[in-house]
Amino acid sequence: MKILICAYRDWAKDVFFDLCRAGHVGEHDLALTTTPSEMEALSREQEWDAIVMIGWSWKIPADIVNSRLVVAMHPSDLPNYAGGSPIQNQILDGVTKTNATLFKANEKFDEGEIIDKEPISLEGHLDEVLQSISEASKALVYRFILNFPNNTYAKQVGEGKKVKRLKPEQSQLPNPGGIASPFDEWKMTCKEMWDAIRCREEPYPNAYFEDETGRLTIKRVEFEPK
């Protein structure tokens, strides 16, 4: 089986390297691409049994998704939280346990047929969350390859919550010093503040406070629940 894995973040690339070392799966012809331009060139120039997107942030061109078997991992229990920034949006909504979803990609974002799901945890610091998603992705792709070509595909049921990608300026937190902020109307508990900060830890735009003296960037904090 010839498989092109598309991944650019470290946690996603770890899935590729772990699969290469895994028994049975590692015996297949696996290739990694990390940029949209390379992905498009390889997808068009070579034949693949499957193209697998893990943590991929770019839209897949229609000619590729319509002529190749393209599957993608989305870190939510689709159809819930389809769209951009699903990890951050779920954490901000207080979601702590959910599923990662492997689905057959089409021209619409995150609306393809469901292949498989695997539990993930959204608790703790973001590096712990990403590790959970990485492990789930590895399990999903591993099962997909072992079952190929006998995987089943099921249409998504229900509407689910749609979300939009967070912008860097949305990392600004309510200013405690009295200087006007776009988010002064927020009334945040310590738990809500913790979620707002931890979901923006590296590799995402960090949370920050800003006033007339400058910007205070918050890379990591700890929260002690009562």
pLDDT digits (tens, 9 = 90+) for 63-102: 999 999 999 999 999 999 999 999 999 999 999 999 999 9
Q: Which CATH topology does 168-218 take? A: Methionyl-tRNA Fmet Formyltransferase; Chain A, domain 2 (3.10.25)
Given a contact cutoff of 8 angstroms between Cβ atoms, the answer to whether 39 and 45 are in contact is no
Give me the pLDDT at residue 147, please.
95
User: Which portions of the chain are predicted below pLDDT 70?
Assistant: 26, 176-187
Given a contact cutoff of 8 angstroms between Cβ atoms, the answer to whether 213 and 175 are in contact is no
User: Domain-by-domain residue ranges, the chain?
Assistant: 2-163, 168-218
The rounded distance, in Å, linking the Cα atoms of 126 and 116 is 24
What are 170's two structure tokens?
């949305």
Second CATH level (architecture) for the domain 2-163: 3-Layer(aba) Sandwich (3.40)
Predicted structure pTM score: 0.92
CA dist 152 to 97, 109, 113, 114, 199, Å?
Answer: 25, 20, 9, 8, 33
In a 13 Å sphere around the CA of 210, the CA atoms on its Cβ side amount to 13
Give me the pLDDT at residue 178, please.
53
Give me the pLDDT at residue 181, please.
53
Count of CB atoms situated within 10 Å of the CB of 72 = 23
